[in-house]
Amino acid sequence: MEPIYATEVREIGPEVAEFLEEGYLILFQTGSPAELAEMAVLHEVDHMRPEPPEPGDVLSIGESRFRITAVGTKAWQNVREIGHAVFVFNGAQEPEMPGQICLEEGGTENLAGSLRPGVRLEIKAGVEAPVG
């Protein structure tokens, strides 16, 4: 099954681990301003469908999987137009901000170590069981 979204990590900003500790993973498209790149994973999109993901769909980051719990009203527009995503690992059913994509809580402890250039991030329809 073709993914809803597929992208490849190019660079990891020096502040990404700190944001992950707080439950946030921020993506910006390669070529973003340096001040944004410091806190973000820079990526190159391989595939993106026009329709946004839905609660129940699954974000895969390397071998880790996280179920989406909510998608903000502006989140997919940001992804499509400027390559920017804010993933929040809080389990919320309603995003605090319109640009957030909320995921099940927890499981980010090992992500900082596994995020590196070449790792793929994919969102697929909710067919896979999360393995956190």
Which residues are known catalytic residues? 43
Helices (H) and strands (E) in the chain — how many of each? 4, 8
Q: Which residues contact 20 (CB under 8 A, 6 or more apart)?
A: 108, 111, 112
Give the amino acid at 10: R
Alpha carbon separation from 40 to 12, 29, 129 (Å, rounded): 6, 9, 27
